[in-house]
Amino acid sequence: MQAIFDWVKGIVFYLIFVTVISNLVPGKKYEKYIRLFTGMLLIIVVTKPVIQLAAKGELLEEGSILEFFEDGASESLDGAKSEFEHAQEEKLIAEYEKQVGQYAKAQASQMGMQAQRVQVEVQKTGQEILPVSIVMEVTAQKKESGSVDIPQIVIGDGSGKRETDTKRQALQEALSQYYGIEKSRIKIYVS
């Protein structure tokens, strides 16, 4: 009677485990791996008492069938776990690239420039994800409607190139200091 109770208890734990796992999986991409793993686990849970009885009767050598199924389930779980971790890492890197781009745009805006395009390259070294290079295309911000332009005394050719170059260098310096990237790895193109 205790064996039947343990068997039913194993099935109930299996059902709880499957419910928890299915709710933790982020999308349908890994659903087939989860189904494979839980199907193998169900076979183990359901057939375990029969295999144990057969093993006690020495019909099987030391429960070799049970070990076979347990090894298969373990390998499937390891493969799914590895693929899941890889996908999570890719999402983390993409999100970090996005955050670096948003910060670069905000810095450009504070310096009177508008970022048209930002491209960020990051690299994973050990447990850290660090930006390696930033490429930006910026333009001078447009004046708000209703604002009044105050004439400036311009020394030089009057093109504003010197002022734009100074802003570009200041933005490059700010990003270099904030992220610890060499200035040569930060390219800012003014259009």
What are 16-43's pLDDT values in tens digits? 888 887 777 777 777 788 888 888 888 8
CA dist., res. 161 & res. 177, Å (int)? 24
pTM of this prediction?
0.50
Which pLDDT score is estimated for 72?
A: 62
Looking at domain 94-145+157-190, does it have CATH number 2.40.160? Answer: no
Name beta bridge partners: 123.
Answer: 130
Extents of the domains making up the chain = 2-91, 94-145+157-190
Q: pLDDT higher for 71 or 189?
A: 189
Report residue 154's pLDDT band, with 50, 70 and 90 as the boundaries: very low
| Coil, helix or strand at residue 124 | strand
pLDDT band at 156, cuts 50/70/90?
very low
Give the per-residue pLDDT at 59.
47
Q: What is the pLDDT of residues 54-75, one digit of tens each?
A: 666 544 455 555 565 566 666 6
Q: Give alpha helix (H) positions in 58-160.
A: 64-110
